[in-house]
Amino acid sequence: MNVIHDSVKMGMQVSVGHFTVIEEGVKIGNHVSIGNNVTIYAGVEIGDYVTIFDNAVIGRRPKPAKLSTVKVRKDLPPLIIGAGTTIGANSVLYRGVTIGSEVMVGDLASIREQTVIGDQVVVGRGVAVENEVTIGSRTKIQTNAYITAYTTIEEQVFIAPTVTTTNDNFMGRTKERFQSIRGAHIKKGARVGGASILLPGVTVAEESFIAAGALVSKDTEEETVYLGVPAKKLRAVPEKEKLKNQE
């Protein structure tokens, strides 16, 4: 049995699985598929041709721990899911998130409040995107990557599996940390290899290539390959690999 509030607005050819809850004020476009045991919280807006798989939680309000440094706005806007987007099974999307069109959110992914995601982005299986993150269009973030709060990722960036971004040099101690918490800024066309770590506030320049397992502790230079712990310059990115030479 489903529980669907009377105020929900559904388009044409919407399918809803079993044991699904859809709260008040939700807007659902045309040709939308919603799986079993899905919870869609109040006010969510879902575009046309969206698919939401089983056990997903859509538009929940954040509730941080008492000791959390995160300040949650009481007036968070509803979650918005653009046309043609797919939301994987057991994923959790918070209120205040805006997702563009033709985005793929993998199974078990989590996307926190006040995050903006562009069009044709891939957020892989088990990826955690924390609060106040921006992700540009056509970016790919692969399995189990961790995108910390206040990170900016521009267009056409590649983030390999298990990459870790960080934002706090004090690791939760001293009041000084509140003045300097910053995530990484990963610029257009950059590629970050598997299991790499980006330290707080670093800028990964356009078309930088960060080799697998590198520790990026300083800003990088454009179109340059880095590797090692700490990461150091190795060579220039080959011309054939640059975005301008891709079909």
Phi/psi of residue 179, nearest 5 degrees: -85, -10
Q: In this predicted structure, what is the pLDDT of residue 175?
A: 72
Q: In this predicted structure, what is the pLDDT of residue 78?
A: 96
How much is the average pLDDT of 52-72?
Answer: 85
Distance CA 193, CA 225 (A): 11
Q: What is the CATH number of domain 1-61+76-117?
A: 2.160.10.10
Q: Which two tokens stand for residue 71?
A: 């300040």
- CA dihedral (209, 212, 213, 216) in degrees, to 10, reads 10
pTM above 0.85, yes or no: yes
Placement of tokens 């770590």 in the chain: 197
For domain 139-242, is the CATH number 2.160.10.10? yes
Where does CATH 2.160.10.10 sit in the chain?
1-61+76-117, 139-242
Phi/psi of residue 144, nearest 5 degrees: 65, 20
Neighbour-count burial of 78, counting CB atoms closer than 10 A to its CB (0-12 exposed, 13-18 middle, 19+ buried): middle
How much is the average pLDDT of 13-36?
Answer: 98
Condensed to tens digits (0 to 9), the pLDDT of residues 195-224 reads 999 999 999 999 999 999 999 999 999 999
At residue 69 the predicted structure's pLDDT band, cuts being 50, 70 and 90, is low
Q: In this predicted structure, what is the pLDDT of residue 124?
A: 98
Q: Cα Rg for the chain, rounded, in angstroms?
A: 19
